[in-house]
Amino acid sequence: MNVSALTPSELKFRLKKSGIFLRTGSFITHLQTSIPGVSESVGLLYADYPLAEQADFADFHVSLTRPRNLRRWFKPQALFSFDGNTIFKPLPLDQAFPMLEWGLNWCVSNHVNHCLIVHAAVVEKGGYAVLLPAPPGSGKSTLCAALVNRGWRLLSDELALVRVGDGKLIPLPRPVSLKNESIEIIRRYEPSAIFSRKVDDTLKGTVAHMKASSDSVARASEVVQVAWVIFPKYQAGSTACLETLPQAHAFMRVADNSFNYSLLGLNGFRTMARLIDGSLCYDFTYSKLDDAIEIFGALTPQASSK
């Protein structure tokens, strides 16, 4: 059964009482909340996601609640809890759903060590994936959102999960986080895209989340081989340019964007080496999304890719 099988009132009731067991990729999250804005956004953006049939196990137990003090009534706030422990400082109640998304990213990046975790978007087409590592402000999520609205499958917007052993990517398709001007850019680029409402004045500015395609969610169990590692950078007025990057340089830059490369030790090194050795590596500068889509559509994997 998917989330969409529940009416809004049923979803709100379940979240408030026993919670739901939401499957995102290979993870199950037990989510509880009585905050209406969260249940509305979950119903909108997670409609295509399955609910675990046997609610006796979860990888992560999380909740969003209001503090039990005067803040419940005066400038209301939201708290994110993991396994019953408050992890972050409270945020304004209006930011509860973005806080959930950030919290779920924290759960994965801090507890999933059977994979090398890279701060990167990942998209796939024709059986091969593009890894897009980049720091905030680079245009990574904007480019990712544009690609998935032009036929690419979303594996992740934030966390690339590289499987230790064979180096393949494990999908984690969740809503794409967009910030500030990028929200309206993608709204104009793909008017049919489904967004949560905009939330202003967060630590990241104005944020909104774009729904992942139903195909990406349905194929969340399909691992994929990385064929390209591309470091994107938006630069206003620039001509789209794909420049070859030496693999040694790419190795170090991806390692810098990894959450647990050092923690994994030799396994981290071997997994990273396999990833880079099997990929064509580039720097990519762009300003127009249509130009980027055209260049990505012409990518060809190296002959040794499998």
Sign of CA dihedral 148, 151, 152, 153: positive
* Model pTM above 0.75: yes
pLDDT digits (tens, 9 = 90+) for 77-115: 999 999 989 989 999 999 999 999 999 999 999 999 999
The reply to whether 154 and 239 lie within a common domain is yes
Phi, psi of 123 (to 5 degrees): -130, 160
In angstroms, rounded to a whole number, what is the distance separating the alpha carbons of residues 279 and 132?
12
**Domain-embedded: residue 278:** yes
Report the first-to-last Cα separation within the chain, whole angstroms. Answer: 34
On the question of pLDDT at 300 being above 60, the answer is yes
On the question of pLDDT at 53 being above 80, the answer is no
Q: Which of 25, 40, 73 is nearest to 217 (CA)?
A: 25
Supply the CATH number for residue 259's domain.
3.40.50
The reply to whether 95 and 123 lie within a common domain is no
On the question of pLDDT at 75 being above 90, the answer is no
Per-residue burial over 180-212, b = 16 or more CB atoms within 10 Å of its CB, e = otherwise: eebbebbeebbeebebbeebeebeeebbbbbbb
On the question of pLDDT at 73 being above 80, the answer is no
CB 124 within 8 A of CB 152: yes
On the question of pLDDT at 241 being above 90, the answer is yes
Range of the domain at 106: 3-111
52: tokens are: 């675990």
Q: Where a domain ends, among 86, 111, 136?
A: 111
Query: How many structural domains comprise the chain?
Result: 2
Query: At 124, is the secondary structure helix, strand, or coil?
Result: strand
On the question of pLDDT at 67 being above 90, the answer is no
